[in-house]
Amino acid sequence: MPLEVDTCIIGAGPVGATLAAALAAGGVRTAVVDAAPLPPMEMPEFDGRAYAIALTSQRLLAAAGVWDRLPEAPCPILGIRVADGRPGERASPLSLHFDHAEVGEDPFGWMVEARALRVALNARLPALPGLSVFAPAEARVERGPEGATVRLSSGQDIHARLLVGAEGRNSPLRRQAGIPVTRLDYHCMGLVGAIAHDKPHHNVALEQFLPHGPFAQLPMNGIPGHPHVSAIVWTERTAVARAALAMDDAAYARQIMARMGDHLGAVRPIGRRWSYPLSAMHAARYTAERLALVGDAAHGIHPIAGQGLNLGFRDVAALAEMVIEAVNAGEDPGGAALLARYQAARRPDSLVMLGATHVLERLFTSRLPPLRIARRLGIAAVDRMPELKRFFARRAMGMGGVAGGLLGGQGLGRA
Q: Classify residue 397: in a domain, yes or no.
A: yes
DSSP designation for 73: P
Q: What percent of the chain has pLDDT over 90?
A: 65
Q: Classify residue 213: in a domain, yes or no.
A: no
Number of structural domains (the chain) is 1
Residue 42, pLDDT score: 57
Quote the domain boundaries for residue 368. Answer: 3-183+280-408
Catalogue the E-assigned strands of 212-263.
Answer: 213-220, 229-237
What mean pLDDT do residues 90-118 have? 82
Q: What percent of the chain has pLDDT over 70?
A: 83
Is 351 or 76 the better-scoring residue by pLDDT? 76
Q: Classify residue 267: in a domain, yes or no.
A: no
What mean pLDDT do residues 66-78 have? 95
The model's confidence at residue 413, banded by pLDDT at 50, 70 and 90, is very low
Residue 213, pLDDT score: 79
How many angstroms separate the CA atoms of 121 and 67, rounded? Answer: 9
Q: Classify residue 175: in a domain, yes or no.
A: yes
The model's confidence at residue 320, banded by pLDDT at 50, 70 and 90, is very high
What mean pLDDT do residues 336-362 have? 84
pLDDT tens digit sequence for 114-142: 999 999 999 999 999 999 999 999 999 99
Is 86 or 184 the better-scoring residue by pLDDT? 184
The answer to whether the bond into 136 is cis (omega within 30° of 0) is yes
Mean of the per-residue pLDDT values of the chain: 87
How many angstroms separate the CA atoms of 21 and 153, rounded? Answer: 24
Q: Which one of 94-108, 240-254, 344-358 scores highest in mean pLDDT? A: 240-254
Q: Is the pLDDT of residue 333 over 90?
A: yes
Residue 369, pLDDT score: 58
pLDDT tens digit sequence for 367-398: 555 555 555 556 555 555 666 556 556 666 56
Residue 39, pLDDT score: 59
In terms of DSSP H, where are the helices of 64-203? 114-124, 172-176
Q: Classify residue 257: in a domain, yes or no.
A: no
Residue 99, pLDDT score: 86
Which H or E run contains 162? strand 157-165
Q: Which one of 69-83, 100-114, 320-334 scores highest in mean pLDDT? A: 320-334
The model's confidence at residue 149, banded by pLDDT at 50, 70 and 90, is very high
How many angstroms separate the CA atoms of 30 and 239, rounded? Answer: 45
The model's confidence at residue 181, banded by pLDDT at 50, 70 and 90, is very high
The model's confidence at residue 101, banded by pLDDT at 50, 70 and 90, is confident
Q: Which residues lie closer than 8 Å to 134 by C-beta, 6 or more apart?
A: 31, 32, 33, 34, 152, 154, 156, 158
Q: Classify residue 214: in a domain, yes or no.
A: no
- CATH assignment of the domain containing 89: 3.50.50.60
Is 88 or 172 the better-scoring residue by pLDDT? 172
Q: Which amino acid is at 16?
A: G
Residue 415, pLDDT score: 40
Q: Which residues lie closer than 8 Å to 324 by C-beta, 6 or more apart?
A: 23, 26, 27, 28, 412
Residue 296, pLDDT score: 96
What mean pLDDT do residues 42-55 have? 80
Q: Which residues lie closer than 8 Å to 252 by C-beta, 6 or more apart?
A: 244, 269, 273
**Taking the model in full, what pTM does it have?**
0.90
The model's confidence at residue 414, banded by pLDDT at 50, 70 and 90, is very low
Q: Classify residue 272: in a domain, yes or no.
A: no
Q: Classify residue 179: in a domain, yes or no.
A: yes
